Structure 1
């Protein structure tokens, strides 16, 4: 039986569905750089990974152009994009249950901390989290490995076996592997079952109730 104490939640695609806000903000950024993408559905690949990675990978932007794209993205995202977002069904009740069971809950996201804090507060779930850990606006600490390690360093009185990372993309699972902690891959977000399974998480669940089944069922009494 596992002895998890610190539960790390990815934000986009795990706690909430940010599709509208992210894709429209990416579309806005690309349009300002003379790249036309009429259908925002083509931009779902931007949900999850750091923007620095996605603009370079999908549009072959160099460092300078990537920075300009991120600046344009944030221009729209700060104004309206972060609130074009919705919680997945059963998330508040899951968080309430885990908190009542004595778990420490942490948000671990590649999104800048300042935005993540506003989003979590907007949804009125900030009361459940002891820490919100994201990237820095200057582009540092963007990889999920760096973010998880940052959290482990803060809670350094705990063993790696006390932590588990929950996320919907391979970056979440790879980050957990790189830092020596367990992981739950969820398939209701934006990573396919193939992407999640190939990343080799300890558990794979198809819905929010599945997360509860894993964590509450594995709780050491």
Structure 2
């Protein structure tokens, strides 16, 4: 199956944001006198909407969640944004897909403002026709809504789209929009989490991803 329109998740798919995100969460939790020394414990925050994760993992109410996200952004906007790294082979992947005239987009639950800054930092913004994310006011965080927004904004044909991501939210969002999906095992979702969602394809490496996407 050949796809000409490719939507990429950002965190855990294009870049490994672990240090920046987990340190930002650690900083926010400390404001509530919650001390987390091991950053590995905060890995589940990578991928899902922040609001959802603070409620799910720490039982925060709406007011606490809003405050926690604000504290998170204090650290993230200054430091966490850049405590990030590209996965090996990602630039080569984007270069090759661009040469093949594939249309590339980003669909992320991260606010568009931050997503654009990260892609600019890594000099990757040039590869994407459009970067779709959530709003800073907390709306449009659900991945299905983000994908729908990109499709509508760019007037895309759902029969020609594949959504690529490392968490179940990416695959569920793709299914809700009637588009194909690829689960990538090199990010933060387990193989079980991804395969349970029955993606169109499942790959373990960036190399395998290129083999699936390249004509």
Global fold match (TM > 0.5): yes
TM-score normalised according to structure 2 size: 0.98
How far apart, CA to CA, are the structure 1 residues paired with 2:211 and 2:130? 23
Aligned to 1:66: 65
Q: 1:25 touches 1:73 (CA, 8 Å); kept in 2?
A: yes
- Give the Cα separation in 1 of the matches to 2:113 and 2:70: 15
**Partners of 2:150 and 2:30 in 1: how far apart?**
36
State the Cα deviation string for residues 191-210 of structure 1 (Å, max 9, x = none): 00000000110000001011
Which residue in the other structure is 1:191 paired with? 189
Look up the match of 2:105.
106
**RMSD (CA atoms):** 0.8
**Number of the residue aligned with 1:34:** 33
Matched, 1:214 2:199: no
Match of 1:129 in 2: 128
The runs of 5 or more residues in structure 2 that have no matched partner are none
Task: Give the CA deviation at 1:155.
Answer: 2.6
Match of 2:163 among 159, 162, 165: 165
For 2:174, which of 163, 173, 176 is the aligned residue? Answer: 176
Provide the aligned length of Structure 1 versus Structure 2. Answer: 215
TM-score (norm 1): 0.96
CA deviation profile, 1:8-64 (whole Å, cap 9, x unmatched): 000000000000000000000000111111111100000000001100000000111
Q: CA deviation at 1:152?
A: 0.9
Counterpart position of 1:5: 4
Alignment partner, residue 51 of structure 1:
50
